[in-house]
Chains A and B, each alone.
Chain A
Amino acid sequence: MTDTITEAEQAGFASDMTQSTTLGQSVRAYANRVRGGDMGALPSILGLIALFVVFWLANDKFLSYLNMANLITQAGPIVILAMALVPVLLLGEIDLSAGVAGGVAACVMGVLIVKHGQPWGIAVLAAVVTGAVIGLVIGLLVAKLGIPSFVVTLAFFLGLQGVTLKLIGEGGSVRVNQEVIYGIANKNVDPTLGWIAAAVIIAGFAALSLLRQRRKVAHGLQHQPLAVVVAQIVALAIVILGVTFVLNQNRSRNPNFPIEGVPWVLPLIAVLLIGWTFALGRTSWGRHVYAVGGNAEAARRAGINVDRIRISVFMACSAMAALSLIVQASVSGKVSTSSGGGNALLYAVGAAVIGGTSLFGGKGKARDAVIGGLVVATIANGLGLLNQASYINFVVTGGVLLLAASVDAISRRRRSASGLG
């Protein structure tokens, strides 16, 4: 080196261990990141709060216990489908057929239960496997033949609707009144059990966060200040306890038949969210998904089997889509020829993007699907309460998606200008 090394430069490498030691510093660092275009979930959370305020001002029924529970069940299928799409979007690909692939899978489940009298567990497994097989074929065509995923999945979008028609007959539908499947959206967790589960999740999150923090400090790794970790735990606790409290209130209009408790779809989403957050953030597979989405050539040179990653992501997507359409079947009580068709997929893509997942690949989280899915469902729910014509719903949702995509594009430009991830 030249002989002009300053003290700061010499110490430069050790300084990263104790970076942002105080709460104030890390708040400032966060503000800088946001200004630099790395906004994460912030716009979608602010948007969600704004929507809640607007709809609450417009209609006092919006914040009623009954409507909040309805909102959760309405959001369920969108959130799960959006979560299915997050890994595909992380690769910079798209799966237009996820909705109808889930539709075919839900048909398989419905037919197995209704016509063949199979137990629900086997039917659900068969549906998930159906989804995975569809995803395998899509993945092979994209990865091995090199057809753009847009084209492959557009073809599947058209073709699989035909398969659904064939499975359940023109214009028909399969009623799903199996107790467990029907119960996902229509039955509730016992309030006591709900409180216990909420407490367990909060305690688990707190324990894991604090342990990780302590381990990082002990090994001299880069870590967040304790105050930030505690603030995250408190924020999560407030959200979980608040939601549990609202959903545990009696929301029945008939005083003789109380309806209370968290709808079963919510713990299902929680499990999927935890699973996907773990898979994407804490396993090599997840790391490789981000790598392929960020720079496929670099991933290949690093010895990652890029084709295998692509194929596995499309398989996971279609298998998750099967779960989404099973929940949809539970909400509507039937599987019909239009299951997963129409706008279902586009709403889910919109939800993921609104939540903060980039369409350019390499950036996004499983939780984006939850926040974005809630935004999309809130628009539909709120406008529905206001008895607006359905055209308004389309226009507003389209507008919000455009807004989210603009935020994505602009923040991406800012990120590359300011050099943030």
Chain B
Amino acid sequence: MSSSTPVLELRGINKSFGVAHVLHDVDLKIYPGQVTALVGDNGAGKSTLVKTVAGIYLPDTGSYIFDGEPVAVHGPKEASSLGIEIVYQDLALCENLDIVENMFLGRESRHGIVLDETTMEAKAREALTSLSVRTVKSVRQSVSSLSGGQRQTVAIAKSVLWNSKVVLLDEPTAALGVAQTRQVLDLVRRLADSGVGVLLISHNLTDVFEVADRITALYLGRVAADVSAKDVTSRQVVELITTGQSSDLGGAAALTTV
């Protein structure tokens, strides 16, 4: 299922805020059909990197390559028009609206000026069905009546609806219980299996090893390792996160070690 060319690639990204040099020559590759996990301690630069991918920050130097073509992304709208969808940790759903209304928020289907509820409801149901979502009782349910896992599901399904090529998931399981975490991880896997390039930002190494194909570890703004998930152990990844290197991680895996 691995594909040789990344759908999204960042090369040599540097980003400073005043005197704080947050990202140093960071390389990031997201492959279609794979889950790439981005791990790192607080302050390692994960959110800065995500915001760079999202187009919220412009890198100082480095190139942004999408589908093999260098592009400049100035703002979240340009990122989403490329097919990059970000599912934020704090969800960004409107509780007073229902599932369909949330999934189409800002991109409603219309006949002239009248909302086309028929198309929207049918498409929303199709997107949820394609992800085998069974936990939602009705697509016309208000989001305030959904559990945390169901809300995460709706947010992820939104990216399927818009045929995204890259989906960034920021700590999707952070606030969830065991069963809901299970559901969301299954969903992440199905999303990748449908050909989407998924970037999973997570603190939870159990989750990471559960679904990730590749692991990119950040340490103090540098890439400590970019490895295949099956080549490393949980202990090695902890070492990478906390010290930036792993003593017994040899060969190609440690290429970019500090």
Minimal Cβ-Cβ distance residue in A for B186:
A1
B-side residues, CB < 8 A to A, are: 76-77, 80, 88, 91-98, 101, 105-108, 110, 113-115, 117-118, 121-122, 125, 128-129, 132-140, 142, 144-146, 182, 186
Query: B107 — which chain A residues lie within 8 A by C-beta?
Result: 302-303
Answer whether residue A390 sits at the interface, using C-beta atoms and an 8 A cutoff. no
CB-based contact A284/B97 at 8 Å: no
The distance from the CB of A248 to the nearest CB of chain B, in whole angstroms, is: 34
CB-based contact A215/B106 at 8 Å: no
- Given contact pairs A216-B118, A222-B138, a sample of 9 additional A-B residue pairs in the complex whose CB atoms are under 8 Å apart: A13-B134, A16-B137, A283-B114, A284-B115, A295-B95, A297-B92, A299-B94, A362-B95, A419-B146
Query: B136 — which chain A residues lie within 8 A by C-beta?
Result: 12-13, 16
Can you list 6 A-B pairs, Cβ within 8 angstroms, ordered by A? A16-B137, A221-B117, A221-B122, A222-B121, A303-B76, A416-B144
CA distance A9 to B132 in the complex (A): 11
The distance from the CB of A28 to the nearest CB of chain B, in whole angstroms, is: 16
The distance from the CB of B106 to the nearest CB of chain A, in whole angstroms, is: 4
CB-based contact B92/A282 at 8 Å: no
CA distance A250 to B151 in the complex (A): 59
Query: A215 — which chain B residues lie within 8 A by C-beta?
Result: 118
Query: A301 — which chain B residues lie within 8 A by C-beta?
Result: 76, 88, 92
The distance from the CB of B34 to the nearest CB of chain A, in whole angstroms, is: 21
Answer whether residue A320 sits at the interface, using C-beta atoms and an 8 A cutoff. no
Known interface pairs A12-B134, A19-B138, A301-B92. Does A284 touch B110 (Cβ–Cβ under 8 Å)?
A: yes
CB-based contact B94/A420 at 8 Å: no
The contact of B134 among A10, A219, A284, by CB within 8 Å, is A10
CB-based contact A290/B134 at 8 Å: no
CB-based contact A421/B145 at 8 Å: yes
The contact of B94 among A216, A222, A284, A291, by CB within 8 Å, is A291
Query: A283 — which chain B residues lie within 8 A by C-beta?
Result: 113-115
Query: B145 — which chain A residues lie within 8 A by C-beta?
Result: 418-421
CB-based contact A290/B138 at 8 Å: no
CA distance A2 to B108 in the complex (A): 35
CB-based contact B128/A16 at 8 Å: no
CA distance A295 to B106 in the complex (A): 13
CB-based contact A421/B115 at 8 Å: no
Known interface pairs A290-B97, A362-B96, A416-B144. Does A12 touch B137 (Cβ–Cβ under 8 Å)?
A: yes
CA distance A298 to B97 in the complex (A): 11
The distance from the CB of B125 to the nearest CB of chain A, in whole angstroms, is: 7
CB-based contact B138/A16 at 8 Å: yes
Q: Which of B91, B96, B107 has the most C-beta atoms of chain A within 10 angstroms of its own C-beta?
A: B96
Query: A15 — which chain B residues lie within 8 A by C-beta?
Result: 137
Q: Which range holds the interface residue count of chain A?
A: 35 or more
CB-based contact A295/B135 at 8 Å: no
The distance from the CB of A69 to the nearest CB of chain B, in whole angstroms, is: 36
The distance from the CB of B192 to the nearest CB of chain A, in whole angstroms, is: 16
Query: A303 — which chain B residues lie within 8 A by C-beta?
Result: 76-77, 80, 106-107
Q: Which of A287, A415, A416 has the most C-beta atoms of chain B within 10 angstroms of its own C-beta?
A: A287
Known interface pairs A9-B134, A12-B135. Does A421 touch B142 (Cβ–Cβ under 8 Å)?
A: yes
Over the window 7-47 of chain A, the binary record of Cβ atoms lying under 8 Å from chain B Cβ atoms (1 yes, 0 no) is 00110110110010000000000000000000000000000
- Chain A positions 376-421 with a Cβ under 8 Å from a chain B Cβ: 415-416, 418-421
CB-based contact A419/B144 at 8 Å: yes
Query: A293 — which chain B residues lie within 8 A by C-beta?
Result: 96
CB-based contact B96/A294 at 8 Å: yes
CB-based contact B113/A291 at 8 Å: no
Known interface pairs A421-B96, A421-B145. Does A13 touch B133 (Cβ–Cβ under 8 Å)?
A: yes
Query: A145 — which chain B residues lie within 8 A by C-beta?
Result: none
Query: A290 — which chain B residues lie within 8 A by C-beta?
Result: 94, 96-97, 101
Query: A5 — which chain B residues lie within 8 A by C-beta?
Result: 134
Known interface pairs A302-B92, A303-B77. Does A421 touch B144 (Cβ–Cβ under 8 Å)?
A: yes
Minimal Cβ-Cβ distance residue in A for B103:
A302
Query: B115 — which chain A residues lie within 8 A by C-beta?
Result: 282-284, 287
Query: B117 — which chain A residues lie within 8 A by C-beta?
Result: 221
Answer whether residue A304 sits at the interface, using C-beta atoms and an 8 A cutoff. yes
CB-based contact A421/B98 at 8 Å: yes
CA distance A293 to B122 in the complex (A): 26
Query: B138 — which chain A residues lie within 8 A by C-beta?
Result: 16, 19, 222
The contact of B128 among A13, A302, A420, A421, by CB within 8 Å, is A13
The contact of A16 among B88, B105, B118, B139, by CB within 8 Å, is B139
CA distance A304 to B122 in the complex (A): 23
Answer whether residue A365 sits at the interface, using C-beta atoms and an 8 A cutoff. no
The distance from the CB of A12 to the nearest CB of chain B, in whole angstroms, is: 5
CB-based contact B121/A221 at 8 Å: yes
CA distance A418 to B97 in the complex (A): 16
Query: B121 — which chain A residues lie within 8 A by C-beta?
Result: 219, 221-222
CA distance A363 to B98 in the complex (A): 13
Q: Which of B92, B133, B135 has the most C-beta atoms of chain A within 10 angstroms of its own C-beta?
A: B92
CA distance A15 to B135 in the complex (A): 12
- Chain A positions 184-219 with a Cβ under 8 Å from a chain B Cβ: 215-216, 219
Query: A284 — which chain B residues lie within 8 A by C-beta?
Result: 108, 110, 113, 115
CA distance A32 to B166 in the complex (A): 41
The contact of B105 among A297, A304, A420, by CB within 8 Å, is A304
Query: A304 — which chain B residues lie within 8 A by C-beta?
Result: 105-106
CB-based contact B118/A298 at 8 Å: no
CA distance A133 to B78 in the complex (A): 33
Q: Which 4 A-B residue pairings sit nearest by Cβ, starting from the closest? A: A421-B142, A302-B106, A16-B138, A294-B96
CA distance A288 to B145 in the complex (A): 20
CA distance A10 to B108 in the complex (A): 29
Query: A1 — which chain B residues lie within 8 A by C-beta?
Result: 132, 134, 186
CA distance A12 to B125 in the complex (A): 12
CB-based contact B137/A294 at 8 Å: no
The contact of A2 among B92, B101, B122, B182, by CB within 8 Å, is B182
Minimal Cβ-Cβ distance residue in B for A221:
B121
CB-based contact B137/A295 at 8 Å: no
